[in-house]
Amino acid sequence: MSDTAIPFSALGKGTYLMLGYGDLIAIENTLGCSYEYLNRPGIFGSLTSSTAIVWRGLKQEDQKTGKLVHVFSLDPKGHEEAGELVFRYLQGGNTPPLSEAIAEALLATGLWKRKAHGAVEEKTETPDSPPKNSVT
């Protein structure tokens, strides 16, 4: 099993959230946005986004090969089944929170980094701002 697989048995026994390249492309296409959108805090309150991520990211171990395979079919029917599962899960007020598992799965891709608490974001120059060493 990959070290990027995040155990999440709350949605099914022996299941994991893990996102690969193809999964991220499909999520972008489904949501109509770039992967950078997935870095925004509002993503975790979206049923649409959570459904797309669970649809493509929920995997289980194949008994014959030992590899992780998609739980849902990669078609509209599978997307709908994932949405129904996410909705029932959220209605139940279950723990761990789905948003935490999704955040961990996104971090595990290596495309995002966890921000340190208290860290100050570096300001970037805009095209209108004067160069850093200029006098205004």
Q: Is residue 81 part of a domain?
A: yes
Q: Is residue 130 part of a domain?
A: no
Q: Is residue 122 part of a domain?
A: no
**In the prediction, which pLDDT does 2 show?**
58
Q: Is residue 127 part of a domain?
A: no
Q: pLDDT for 65-113, tens place per residue?
A: 989 999 999 999 999 999 999 998 888 876 667 888 888 888 888 887 7
H helix or E strand, kind and range, residue 70: strand 68-70
Quickly count helices (H) and strands (E) in the chain: 4, 4
Q: Which amino acid is at 31?
A: L
Q: Is residue 38 part of a domain?
A: yes
Q: Is residue 128 part of a domain?
A: no
Domain range for 30 is 6-108
pLDDT band at residue 4 using 50, 70 and 90 as cut-offs: confident
Total structural domains within the chain: 1
In the sheet where 6-7 sits, what is the strand order?
6-7, 15-17, 58-61, 68-70
129 has pLDDT over 80 = no
What percent of the chain has a predicted confidence (pLDDT) above 70?
76
Specify whether the CB–CB gap between 58 and 8 falls below 8 A.
yes
